[in-house]
Structure 1
């Protein structure tokens, strides 16, 4: 992957997650030039079928090349870890990074795809979304599960995930497609807009989901569709 370089003029904005002690990080103009990433996405990536990565991501994915993974890991270690209170000396490893294209129409969604989710119930797990499309194709939101008044999940809260699924199943009128706003079960507490070459980082145990409000957001069109790079990292004291 050629010409993959951090932008020395990138900006990092730290925003508070309401009703938690956590922050999300919004990094604008992440790469000097995202052309090589887009070339990979549109011309080289081999997109595997939906669910082949054992997730409920509503589209197709392929692994990102190692140069991107290394760049992301180095950036996280050097620029974000020092900002994490009490974790300034932690080490990080990015263990998965996936070029992702949404392809699933709302009518074909499983129940699990009609609700926000967590990537992990561990507080040492972090999620990254690198947007490769604009605001019109949707960003990411953080939610509160209203019945249990919970935004940040821990291992003891795993049983709540089954409750959430059952509740969503019982309210099909409200949860008939992609969740993009508050419902009687989920309150949207933070909304991050997409922007081309914007990276957003947050803890993976926060309840979250993508804002797919446009038909183009799930068209699967490699020219105009919603491309993003979704990555996952963990941190440790070792």
Structure 2
């Protein structure tokens, strides 16, 4: 691991409004020396493992405490006050690469998701993505809202985990692939383009999905693949 992963101490934080009233915050030039982290990830290529604990369509690498601490410090100094977040309860981060071709995706990987599943209602969760690739065609992040009644949306998500690919596709009229636009169940509310060393923060309750614009360019090489640093922050909500 690099001796020190240093975040920009004077970040410029841009506020990007979404169509449904939510917001995504964007920080360019987030790391002082981003290439050092890419070099380290490349040296650890063999240590990446397929994600088997959520729907992420690719590989991940747990990170040592010093990087977790650096991202946590950045969040506490610059970002927490922008969210419904008081005391930070838990935080973790990992390097990740989307690797699966569209035909290998399961139905629950065809559409947007929320990071809030299983979170205590008294808590909020924020998420961050640091883009560590230079090929913008690998894609940024899109945001969505559900357009069907809550009960129908819940049934949709349940079927995505229970039905076969063929049965789900027939029932809902969807085809395998990464989500890039609105459909009959979700409306796109905005998005952020990928840029090397760009860091974004958003409320984890917002439906979101990676904008995988050119899936044929995906791969498991940290130097050429869709390498990101993903962070998650669970906090007590502010007192009302």
Q: Mean alpha-carbon deviation: is it higher for 29-38 or for 218-227?
A: 218-227
TM-score by length of 2: 0.83
Alignment match, 2:74: 75
Alignment match, 1:107: 103
Deviations along 1:124-151, whole A, 9 cap, x unmatched? Answer: 1111111111322100011122213xxx
Of the three residues 93, 99, 102, the one matched with 1:97 is 93
Distance 1:117 1:217 in 2: 23
Deviations along 1:42-76, whole A, 9 cap, x unmatched? Answer: 1125111232xx11111110112211111111111
TM-score by length of 1: 0.84
Q: Which has the higher contact order (CA 8 A, sep 6+)?
A: 2
Distance 1:128 1:93 in 2: 16
Distance 1:36 1:27 in 2: 19
- Structure 1 residue runs of 5 or longer lacking an equivalent are 149-156
Q: How many residues align?
A: 224
Aligned residues of 1:137 and 1:212 also touching (Cα < 8 A): yes
Q: Alignment partner of 1:147: what SS?
A: coil
Aligned residues of 2:51 and 2:57 also touching (Cα < 8 A): yes
Aligned residues of 2:124 and 2:237 also touching (Cα < 8 A): no
Could you tell me how far 1:12 is from its partner in structure 2? 0.6
- Structure 2 residue runs of 5 or longer lacking an equivalent are 161-167
Q: Mean alpha-carbon deviation: is it higher for 110-119 or for 228-237?
A: 228-237
Could you tell me how far 1:161 is from its partner in structure 2? 3.4
Could you tell me how far 1:37 is from its partner in structure 2? 1.2
Are residues 77 and 217 of structure 1, via their aligned partners in 2, closer, same or farther at CA, if it must alter by over 3 Å? farther
